[in-house]
Structure 1
Amino acid sequence: MNYEFFIAKRIIKAKQYKSSVSATIIKIAIAAIAIGIVMMMVAIATGMGLQKTIQEKVAAFNGHIQITNFDNNKSEVSLKPLAIKQDFYPDFTQVSGVTHIQAVATKAGIIRTEKTFEGVLVKGVGTDYNWAVFEEFLTEGRFPNVSEKRENREILMSAFMARRLELKLGDTFKTLFLKENTSEIPNERTFEIVGIYDSGFQKFDANVMLVDIRHIQRMNKWKNGEIGNFEVFIDDFGSIDAQTEAVDKATFSTLKAKSVITKFPFIFEWISLFDVNIFLIIGIIIIVGGINMITALLVLILDRTPMIGILKALGSNDLSIRKIFLYNAAYLIGIGLLWGNIIGIAFIWSQHTFGFLKFPNPEQYHTSIIPIHIELWHILALNIGTLVLCVLMLLIPSYIITKISPVKAIKFQ
């Protein structure tokens, strides 16, 4: 054990240290570090939680990557049929990280009731559809049964759409689908609501309903093995650009793969701004915490001026004495980080478990409960970064020790 660390340890344990004039200022500095780490953890957890929630909801409706005909990749409606028999379907083994692939088709229609009407985007799904991504959205009823030998009338409708149309679970209604030749009589289908979902994402809830894909195949006069497009799910959203490129290369030149980021750029540009806010909050809090620690360090130095004079008289150099106070400051920062982590982790766990904090305007953030997501490495990086940056900020103020004269310091005692 070097003597600088030994002296710093003795100062920390001394009774005078806890009852000195500087004790109150030191407690304030510790509290500032603790509150700061709590605020930074909450900022990261809520920011990343909101990003992850929106990403998952957009992917639930569209998949992470869509494979379409090259000349149909800008349309919301399936125009040109695509053969379901592909080398990459039903198991996309050509690209690592792909967890699921499903065939779907979409068609625009108009729901007509006795009182009103509403435009709708009908999404046809088959037996390969991954209903697991919709389980948390399901509020009433069940999912449509698309595994029967014959197509049925069952549909899954959003709670938002049901309220606008004044429909409820078990109701039936008619939907009109225009043909390519608009002069022809539209196709009419009667559907029954067997399930109601609420994703909180109004962009999709306002018009998307799910039905048996065979309805769309029949209305479009497609063959049984023809679909609108494929939806691909991956295990890591962070690598979506690289995965999209790999998927595109693994498909024929007549097909085009595009990610949900490309399809909905405004949504992902918006949530990318959360990163800027997070870094801005972290930067401000670290500066504030560092300033508090600088104040505490200067008070410690003034409080221990006689000791500094004695150490210099005994032959200690300025660097060694600065180390003593930097060790002391690092200890105070560590105490603040410890309490901050305890409070912050407890708060994050409580919000994740009970969800007691909610958005006052959930339609703006596409979720009612404030979501939480943070990983262990985020917490570790935050603690290490705060400790290192605060200690570095203390290097310049600790230079004041070199200006203290041993003779004057000892007389001051």
Structure 2
Amino acid sequence: MFRPLELFIGLRYTRAKRRNQFISFISTVSIVCIAISVTALITVMSVMNGFDNELRTRILGAISHATVSGLAGESVQDWQRAIQIAEANPHVRGAAPYVEAQAFLQARRSSGALVRGIDPAQEPKVSDIDKHMIDGKLDALQPGKWNIVLGRELAMSLGVAMGDHVTMAVPEFRATPMGSVPRLRSFTVAGIFELGMQEFDSNLALVSMQDAARLNSIDGPTGIRLRLDDMFNARPVAKELANHLGQVYRMDTWMDSHANFFSAISMEKKVMFIILSLIILVAVINLISMLMMLVTDKQADIAILRTLGSTPRSIMGMFMVQGVLVGFVGIGFGVTLGSLLSWRLPQIVKWIERTFHTTFLSPDVYYISELPSKLQMDDVAKVALVTFLFSLLATLYPAWRASRTQPAQALRYE
């Protein structure tokens, strides 16, 4: 069977003999260090993917992928037609009208809030708030009943619970004998939700769309919220819809309102990858040390091979084979362990918390109380490729030193 000489000798050098047990020990240490580095990097990248996915899911569970609104804050003209055009787009999975305005809420205590009037029958098409109700249901927001659904922290700041009354003041002034006064209306708390994001739990209140329109003296919804099949395709879809809807509508996407936040998360992930790659670089130093000792130990063998006709390039190949093999084995163990650890990390963390009676992410402090993890194969491939390149580069200098061995000097004292 054909086997290249460089591969045959390189693999033979990986077998431990009595006089080079220490070199074999260093090889094992190199494999372990590379495996641990790869495992750590894959696990950290998976945890960051998990946090990114969790935040993205929670934020986009309350806001829409894209929004159709009227110009200058006016109500949407012919909104039924706009919904029909939007739903005709193959990338749109749902559309729902809404009325949105700032208001002042007062009960035992007072607080400002973003009040969103919704159609409870259409809202599940574009948001996940109905899945995060901790008390009551969205169906309670029926026209004319003047019910309100509050975020958990907003309800706590107002000091209200289910069945309590909240007075809403909107910046729609009307003339009275006492002068201009804001519009006031009493609402009954019919539900409380918790998305796990302070931006919404402490600032968002939901009412019936018809009640919100009547209170703000407008004749229709101020916008239409859209959910797409791919949120990263929001801008092209928004541009396409803008061409179909005309100039009397304005298109916005989640990228316009939260782009900086998700860009910061993406940048943090890239920086963490670069920093943790230095751990792999440190682990590869052991590989350089092992190969340098191997080159010193095999001086006589190298000299004999050179006298038999082996070229410097062939000598380099022999030692590069061993270095690459050590890196490849370390990568294999690291990818396997890292993938398994990332896959079962939430369960492992829960087991540690139960066993040692500790809490890593306290719900009283963090909005995400469980350690999320999302393993992505492109991250695994990226880590494996970077580690392989580091291992390959680590073999170059020792292999070059081996190829520069002079046979006469190496065999002088043999």
Partner of residue 209 from structure 2, selected from 201, 210, 213: 213
Instruction: Report the Cα offset of residue 359 of structure 1.
Output: 6.3
The change in CA–CA distance for 1:341 and 1:142 in structure 2 (over 3 A counts) is farther
**Residue number in structure 2 paired with 1:400:** 401
The amino acid that maps onto 1:63 is S
The change in CA–CA distance for 1:188 and 1:99 in structure 2 (over 3 A counts) is same
Cα separation, 2, equivalents of 1:84 and 1:324: 73
Cα separation, 2, equivalents of 1:242 and 1:396: 50
**Residue number in structure 1 paired with 2:67:** 66
**Residue number in structure 1 paired with 2:306:** 312
Instruction: Report the Cα offset of residue 54 of structure 1.
Output: 2.2
1:320-356 CA-to-partner distances (Å, cap 9, x unmatched) read: 1211211111111122112212221122112245654
Partner of residue 83 from structure 1, selected from 47, 63, 78: 78
**Residue number in structure 2 paired with 1:240:** 234
The amino acid that maps onto 1:256 is R
The change in CA–CA distance for 1:187 and 1:61 in structure 2 (over 3 A counts) is same
- Which stretch shifts more, 36-45 or 258-267? 258-267
Contact 2:69 2:76 (8 Å CA) reproduced: no
Partner of residue 157 from structure 1, selected from 150, 157, 165: 150
Contact 1:112 1:174 (8 Å CA) reproduced: yes
Contact 1:43 1:281 (8 Å CA) reproduced: no
**Residue number in structure 1 paired with 2:165:** 173
Cα separation, 2, equivalents of 1:190 and 1:353: 43
The amino acid that maps onto 1:122 is V
The change in CA–CA distance for 1:156 and 1:28 in structure 2 (over 3 A counts) is farther
Contact 2:35 2:333 (8 Å CA) reproduced: yes
TM-score of the two chains, using structure 2 as the length reference? 0.85
Cα separation, 2, equivalents of 1:329 and 1:101: 58
Structure 2 SS opposite 1:243: helix
1:360-411 CA-to-partner distances (Å, cap 9, x unmatched) read: 5879975333332232232123213321342134223321012212233345
Partner of residue 196 from structure 2, selected from 197, 200, 211: 200
Contact 1:200 1:363 (8 Å CA) reproduced: no
The change in CA–CA distance for 1:327 and 1:363 in structure 2 (over 3 A counts) is farther
TM-score of the two chains, using structure 1 as the length reference? 0.85
Cα separation, 1, equivalents of 2:22 and 2:123: 69
Matching of residue 145 in structure 1 with residue 146 in structure 2: no
**Residue number in structure 1 paired with 2:10:** 8
The change in CA–CA distance for 1:158 and 1:178 in structure 2 (over 3 A counts) is closer
1:90-134 CA-to-partner distances (Å, cap 9, x unmatched) read: 75333x433222222113223222x31122212122121126853
Instruction: Report the Cα offset of residue 412 of structure 1.
Output: 5.6
The amino acid that maps onto 1:201 is M
Corresponding residue pairs, total = 399
The amino acid that maps onto 2:9 is I
The change in CA–CA distance for 1:99 and 1:177 in structure 2 (over 3 A counts) is same
Cα separation, 2, equivalents of 1:374 and 1:7: 38
1:234-276 CA-to-partner distances (Å, cap 9, x unmatched) read: 2333333333333333322111112222223542343233233
The amino acid that maps onto 1:186 is R
Matching of residue 251 in structure 1 with residue 252 in structure 2: no
Cα separation, 1, equivalents of 2:203 and 2:392: 55
The change in CA–CA distance for 1:220 and 1:167 in structure 2 (over 3 A counts) is closer
- Which stretch shifts more, 255-264 or 402-411? 402-411
Partner of residue 105 from structure 2, selected from 85, 106, 111: 111
- Give the alignment's Cα RMSD to 1 decimal: 3.0
Cα separation, 2, equivalents of 1:317 and 1:116: 86
**Residue number in structure 1 paired with 2:177:** none
Matching of residue 261 in structure 1 with residue 261 in structure 2: no
- Which stretch shifts more, 335-344 or 238-247? 238-247
Matching of residue 374 in structure 1 with residue 375 in structure 2: yes
The amino acid that maps onto 2:10 is A
**Residue number in structure 2 paired with 1:228:** 222
Contact 1:179 1:187 (8 Å CA) reproduced: no
Matching of residue 189 in structure 1 with residue 190 in structure 2: no
Instruction: Report the Cα offset of residue 136 of structure 1.
Output: 9.0
The within-5 A match list for 1:324-403 is: 324-353=318-347, 356=350, 360=361, 367-403=368-404
Cα separation, 2, equivalents of 1:396 and 1:250: 62
Instruction: Report the Cα offset of residue 202 of structure 1.
Output: 1.0
Cα separation, 2, equivalents of 1:318 and 1:362: 63
Partner of residue 97 from structure 1, selected from 91, 102, 109: 91
Cα separation, 2, equivalents of 1:157 and 1:283: 45
